[in-house]
Structure 1
Amino acid sequence: MITHEQIPTVLDHPVYDTNGNKIGDAKHVFLDDTTGQPEWVSVKTGLFGTSESFVPIHDASIVEDHLEVPYAKDTVKDAPNVDVDAGGHLSEDEEHILYEHYHIEWDAVWQQANRPGEGGWARAGTTGTSVPSGDETDASATAVSGTARPDDAMTRSEERMHVGVERREAGRARLRKYVVTEEVQQTVPVRHEEVRVEREPITDENRDAALSGPEITDAEHEVILHEERPVTQTETVPVERVRMSTEEHTEEETVRGQVRKERIDTEGVDDEGGRDT
């Protein structure tokens, strides 16, 4: 990370990528308004230095007489063009665009910069103050030397809780088919034959039939008896189709956390803003 004291060493000096390729010359260093630490450097690129690209210098380092940034030359040259306002500030939208170009997560920048007592990337939404090179105004030279502009204001910060959701596996459901054997019972009628002996007396109607055989002799007569028995047979038939599907239900869940806030107390000042006597 480049310190405030190293800014004069950076301005108007070459800027190289990690492969040793010269990108251009450093023209301006932009400070974070909250921390006062260097945040961006503008590099003159293109033919005769006609273009100016912005590069994060949080992970940059000074090597001998030049600044080395952890980005390829083409990445820097393709950085989005942003217009710095007359006060030498980058807007929040412009910073956001640059963060996306260099694949720096906006939320991670916000959380790291809002930890009290820690350095790091500028807080999301803050603007950078330009520190020009030494060939401009006297005020610029003062900024280059590392002397901060007098400021008797006190900054009060507070933490904000950002709540999101993550999708994770909560369980599994499956369909499994298996075979069971059950006893079934059904009543059906069955028939069978039984022998019944019938005797009839000799009458004039049956006398001729009774005397048609031999008078005295041995004889047999056989009758075949029949009966029905239950017979079972099974067949497989489809009875239903079963499938699984999912549906989402939305529930309200309260998330609680702790955030820290700074408070500013006054001493020697009455409630109306005057000096307490």
Structure 2
Amino acid sequence: MITKEQIPAVLDHPVLDEGGKKIGEAKHVFLDDATGRPEWASVKTGLFGTSESFVPIRDASLVDDHIEVPYSKSKVKDAPHVDVDAGGHLSESEEHRLYEYYGMRWDESWARANEPGEGGWARQDTTGTAGAAGAAGMAGAAGTAAGTGMGTGEQAGRTGPGYQDDAMTRSEEEMHVGVERREVGRARLRKYVVAEEEERTVPLRHEEVRVEREPITEANRDAALSGPEISEAEHEVVLHEERPVVETEVVPKERVRLTTEEHTEQETVRGQVRKERIEGDADTIDDPDEPGYGR
């Protein structure tokens, strides 16, 4: 059970479910107007704490620096959405919805045992009907923190029906810009074969026949007279020439691979955020003593 004195230790502290999982942060505590006991806590949930769910703290316990409630995280996150009025109170119909969702009912025996003459609520396993307890009021950190100078009675009065805070809360949306990595294309290497014409100039030699005649001299006379005087004869000479011969061989020339490089570019992102603005005006009350009053 959470007492009124423990409210400062509840606000802005983690709320854990029955399995020890964190649900969120406690932002507000609502008191029962009839008993003055802490009855509900609003818990900020969601990725950026953008959602707020209500959870009963009648059976909750304060352990070290966190609160433990006897409900699962999903149970709390799926609780009915409730809009709190300007005075920081839950309407009777909204409170009925919450009690029915969490399976709680009015139990007068519990009320007499714990707060004689006052009403109370008790949890049960099946849905019951809400009784005539007053609407729950919200206790903020300013009203419960030590050193405010307000006694217990004054604190209960400030959370009772008809209490209007003397300040407004102005909120704004903040834009958070992140980045995501996505595929924009693919690059690949492909090897294929082409035939190109090349030219080379090489020297080629060949033999040609040339008839040489020489007169008979003393030097060749013996060779000339070695054969018969008159006869027929043939002499054959083999001619040669060079022709080009083309051969190819495979020679590695280079290695080719694909790599990636990251380049950073600045891009301006625009988006709309909503902001609350507060303006004040004053109504002038005519003075009966002023000339022209009542015209």
TM-score, normalised on structure 1?
0.53
Match of 2:247 among 221, 228, 233: 233
Aligned to 1:31: 42
Are the structure 2 counterparts of residues 226 and 38 from structure 1 closer, same or farther at C-alpha, using a change threshold of 3 Å? closer
Residues 200-222 of structure 1: per-residue CA shift (max 9 Å, x gap):
01111111111111111110000
SS in 1 for 2:102: strand
Residue in 2 aligned with 1:150?
164
Are 1:29 and 1:38, in contact at CA under 8 Å, matched by a contact in 2? no
Identity over aligned pairs, percent: 57
Paired position in structure 1 for 2:78: 59
1-side partners of 2:238 and 2:178: how far apart?
90
1:157, distance to aligned residue in structure 2 (A): 1.9
Q: Cα gap change, 1:187/1:58 in structure 2, threshold over 3 Å: closer, same or farther?
A: same
Q: Distance in 2 between matches of 1:148 and 1:190?
A: 119
RMSD of aligned alpha carbons: 4.0
CA radius of gyration, larger in: 2
- How big is the shift at 1:260? 2.0
1:40 Cα shift? 4.4
Q: Is the 8 A contact 2:144 2:155 kept in 1?
A: no
**Residue-by-residue CA offset, 1:48-82 (whole Å, 9 max, x unaligned):** xxx951466341332364478xxxxxxxxxxxxxx
Alpha-carbon separation, structure 1, partners of 2:177 and 2:124: 39
Q: Aligned match of 2:276 in 257, 262, 277? A: 262
* Cα distance change of structure 1 residues 254 and 67 upon mapping to structure 2, 3 Å threshold: farther
Q: Identify the residue that residue 106 of structure 1 maps to in structure 2.
A: none
C-alpha distance in structure 2 between counterparts of 1:217 and 1:276, whole Å = 163
> 2:174 maps to which residue?
160
1:148 CA drift (Å): 7.0
For the residues of structure 1 that align with 2:230 and 2:103, how far apart are their CA atoms?
Answer: 146
CA 1:156 to 1:180, structure 2 compared with 1: closer, same or farther past 3 Å? same
8 A Cα contact 1:268 1:276, kept in partner: no
CA contact (8 A) 1:192 1:228 kept: yes
Which stretches in structure 1 are left out of the alignment for 5+ residues? 1-15, 18-26, 69-84, 90-135, 270-274
Aligned residues: 181
Structure 2 length as normaliser, TM-score?
0.50
Matches within 5 A, 1:173-252: 173-252=187-266
